[in-house]
């Protein structure tokens, strides 16, 4: 059997033995194993086609080609056909007419041309006894659809048939929980929940407010005046990330970016008039700056290293960015001024945040063997303070600079009071707990923010939806097919 774990594609003999790592798969979306000994899989959820690799191990090569300059965002959920050469897979695109199920070949990898049928779901193939055709099953609009598939011509023929059984659809993270043989059908009726609710609470834990919408996205950033919140939001149908602005007073929201690019990690300008964010593709990111209402021209800045992502906007007018290699750089808005390193050591530094007065830099370092939060002066004389006593992550300043928040090693939010000393340094008090729910284990960047006065915290809330705990099985399921 094959499975994904720890960013790898792994195989394991059913009768025992050690797991064998076959290929890298940092954020996969499905795999299929052929009778000829090939595995076709999706290694990363965006901006990549499908890959193929021998099940015994070897070089990974393309199975499909994705043009990142076009509207398609990803290829997912492959399923081999009986010949062991061709497979069906789902194309996700910003153009509605291109979303659907396609046929690919391991012998001749190519970009998808025309879909077998339009769909927001992947498909599974079922061979029929004593027949040169089979059925493609997919989940659509709350039931299971079946289409006759001519294997020789590799095309769908006849009318769409339906099985009036509720089946959960494909989500951005999971395929349809649907599988079948000629006689047995297995399915799940309940969708695996995706996304989180935007929530806020006083730091005492009182006055918890949870927005009803469950959305996929994160990177919450409160505006300098406290009236708005910027965040990344994923369109689950098109697998496209964009920046949205929420009006915290009126309860409205507006979309700032509309491109096919991977727009994530917004940071506010000090006056709240502009937003900077990471854009481009996964392989070739850029930095972009737009007005906070999305109106007017967009400025593009180059990354100082092959990979970068913004973490803050300084009072002096430069972007603080993480770069490949685990360093932190300052990127000026003047295209003629060079970027410069702020933190460049032999260990990883990331998620740096500038203090409101511009004098101090809070950041995360792994020099002790685990993430920890430090504060260092931006200019001479250089001083450094270790803030988190037993590991920490995701530092956030209060707007007046008198508190620093961070997430501790147990994933609880802490706040540390601080003050300036007579010699130009800082004095830190003891960490105090903030009474909001524990954060999820996996995160990218800083997933929460605080109001300008530090009294209210904005954070992702998992809600109460639960994953399915049972599945259904039908014997002789083809008798249920209906037009």
How is 216-231 classified by DSSP, letter by letter?
S----EE-TTSSEEEE
Same domain, 23 and 145: yes
Query: What is the DSSP secondary-structure string of 360-395?
Result: EEEEEE-TTSS-EEEEEESSSSP-EEE--SS-EEEE
Residue percentage of the chain with pLDDT more than 90: 78
| C-alpha to C-alpha distance for 364 and 476, rounded to whole angstroms | 58
Same domain as 163, residue 213: no
Q: Are residues 219 and 366 located together in one domain of the fold? A: yes
Residues 6 or more apart from 139 whose CB is under 8 A from it? 121, 145, 167, 168, 169, 170, 176, 178
- What distance in Å separates the CA atoms of residue 133 and residue 78, rounded to the nearest whole number? 19
Q: CA 228, 393, 242, 330 torsion: positive or negative?
A: positive
Q: How far is it, in rounded angstroms, from Cα 66 to Cα 74? A: 7
pLDDT tops 90 at residue 211: yes
Which DSSP category does 169 fall into?
Answer: P
142 and 251 part of one domain: no
> Would you call 133 helix, strand, or coil by DSSP?
strand
Q: What are phi and psi of 441, to 5 degrees?
A: -70, -40
Both 165 and 294 in a single domain? Answer: no
| pLDDT tens per residue, range 106-128 | 999 999 999 999 998 899 999 98
DSSP class of 96: G
Q: Are 251 and 228 in contact (CB under 8 A)?
A: no
Q: Rounded CA gap, 244 and 108, in Å? A: 40
pLDDT of residue 170: 82
Confidence of residue 397 (pLDDT cuts 50, 70, 90): very high
At 46-90, the pLDDT tens digits run 899 999 999 999 999 999 999 999 999 999 999 999 999 999 999
Q: How many residues does the chain have?
A: 483
Is the confidence at residue 17, as pLDDT, over 90? no
pLDDT at 145: 94
Give how far Cα 336 sits from Cα of 123, 241, 315, 330, Å: 51, 30, 20, 14
Q: Say if residue 106 is in the same domain as residue 124.
A: yes
The SS3 call for residue 65 is coil
Mean pLDDT of 172-190: 90
Instruction: Tell me the CA distances in angstroms from 307 to 26, 70, 84, 326, 329, one per residue in order.
Output: 16, 21, 37, 10, 12
Residue from 289, 336, 284 nearest 308 by CA: 284
93 and 29 both lie in a single domain: yes
Do 455 and 353 sit in the same domain of this protein? yes
Q: Is the pLDDT of residue 169 over 90?
A: no
- Confidence band for 444, pLDDT divided at 50, 70 and 90: confident
Tokens at 384, concatenated: 């450094």
**pLDDT for res 300:** 93
DSSP-assigned letter for residue 97: G
Is the same domain home to 166 and 43?
A: yes
Structural tokens at position 457: 């915290």
For residues 36 and 109, membership in a common domain is answered with: yes
Residues 131 and 158 in one domain: yes
pLDDT at 389 over 90: no
Please give the structure tokens belonging to residue 145.
């659809």
Of residues 223 and 469, more confidence is placed in 223
Is 434:414 a contact under the CB 8 Å cutoff? yes
**Number of domain units in the chain:** 2
Region of 357 on the Ramachandran plot (φ > 0 left; ψ -120 to 50 alpha; else beta)? alpha
Answer with the residue of higher pLDDT: 136 or 336: 136
Mean pLDDT of the residues in the chain: 93
**Contact call for residues 402 and 417 (beta carbons, < 8 A):** yes
379 compared with 247, residue with greater pLDDT:
247
Task: Answer whether residue 29 shows pLDDT above 80.
Answer: yes
Full domain range(s) for residue 30 = 2-192+466-480
What CATH number did the domain enclosing 121 receive?
2.120.10.30
- pLDDT for 265 equals 96
Q: Are residues 105 and 39 in the same domain?
A: yes
Q: Residue 289 gets which letter from DSSP?
A: E
The model's pTM: 0.90
* pLDDT at residue 336 is higher than 80: yes
Give the pLDDT score at 477: 95
Per-residue pLDDT at 168 exceeds 90: no
pLDDT tens digits for 283-315?
Answer: 889 999 999 998 999 999 989 998 899 999 999
**More confident call, 351 vs 325:** 351
Task: Pull the structure tokens for residue 284.
Answer: 């070739």
Which tokens hold the place of 482? 């209906």
Q: pLDDT tier at 335 (50, 70, 90 boundaries)?
A: confident
Mean pLDDT of 433-437: 96
Predicted confidence (pLDDT) at residue 39 exceeds the cutoff of 90: yes
Q: What pLDDT does residue 228 have?
A: 97
Cα 117 to Cα 155: distance, rounded to the nearest angstrom: 9
């Amino acid at each position: 059997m094959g499975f994904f774990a720890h960013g790898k594609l792994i195989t394991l003999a059913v009768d025992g033995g050690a797991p064998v790592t076959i290929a890298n798969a940092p954020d996969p979306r499905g795999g299929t194993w052929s009778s000829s000994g090939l595995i076709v899989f999706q290694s990363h959820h965006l901006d990549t086609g499908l890959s193929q690799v021998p099940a015994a191990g070897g070089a990974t090569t393309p199975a499909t080609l994705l043009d990142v300059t076009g509207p398609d965002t990803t290829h997912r959920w492959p399923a081999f056909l009986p010949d062991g050469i061709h497979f069906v897979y789902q194309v996700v695109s910003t153009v509605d007419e291109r979303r659907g199920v396609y046929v690919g070949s391991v012998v001749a990898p190519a970009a998808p041309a025309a879909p077998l049928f339009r769909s927001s779901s992947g498909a599974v193939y079922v061979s029929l006894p004593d027949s040169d055709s089979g059925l493609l099953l997919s989940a659509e609009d709350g039931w299971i659809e079946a289409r006759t598939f001519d294997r020789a011509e590799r095309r769908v023929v006849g009318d769409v048939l339906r099985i009036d059984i509720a089946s959960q659809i494909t989500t951005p993270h999971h395929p349809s929980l649907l599988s079948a043989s000629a006689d047995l059908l297995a399915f799940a009726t309940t969708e695996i929940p995706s996304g989180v609710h935007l929530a806020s609470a006083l730091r005492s834990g009182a006055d918890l407010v949870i927005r009803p919408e469950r959305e996929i996205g994160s990177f919450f950033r409160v505006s300098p005046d406290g009236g708005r919140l910027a965040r990344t939001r994923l369109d689950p149908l098109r697998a496209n990330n964009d920046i949205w602005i929420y009006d915290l007073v009126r309860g409205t929201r507006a979309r700032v970016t509309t491109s096919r690019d991977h727009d994530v990690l917004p940071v506010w300008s000090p006056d709240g008039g502009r937003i900077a964010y990471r854009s481009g593709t996964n392989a070739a990111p850029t930095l972009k700056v737009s007005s906070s209402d999305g109106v007017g021209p967009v400025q593009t800045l180059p990354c100082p290293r092959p990979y970068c992502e913004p973490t803050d906007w300084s009072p002096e007018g430069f972007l603080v960015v993480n770069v490949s290699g685990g360093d932190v750089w300052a990127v000026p808005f003047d295209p003629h001024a060079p970027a410069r390193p702020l933190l460049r050591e032999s260990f990883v530094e990331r998620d740096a945040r500038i203090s409101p007065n511009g004098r101090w830099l809070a950041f995360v370092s792994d020099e002790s063997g685990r993430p920890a939060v430090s504060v260092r002066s931006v200019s001479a004389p250089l001083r450094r303070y270790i803030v988190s006593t037993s590991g920490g992550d995701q530092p956030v300043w209060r707007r007046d600079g008198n508190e620093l928040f961070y997430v501790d090693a147990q994933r609880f939010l802490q706040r540390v009071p601080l003050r300036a000393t007579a010699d130009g340094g800082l004095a830190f008090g003891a960490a105090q707990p903030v009474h909001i729910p524990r954060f999820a284990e996996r995160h990218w960047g800083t997933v929460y923010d605080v109001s300008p006065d530090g009294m209210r915290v904005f954070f992702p809330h998992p809600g109460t939806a639960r994953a399915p705990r049972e599945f259904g099985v039908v014997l002789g399921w083809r008798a249920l097919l209906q037009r």
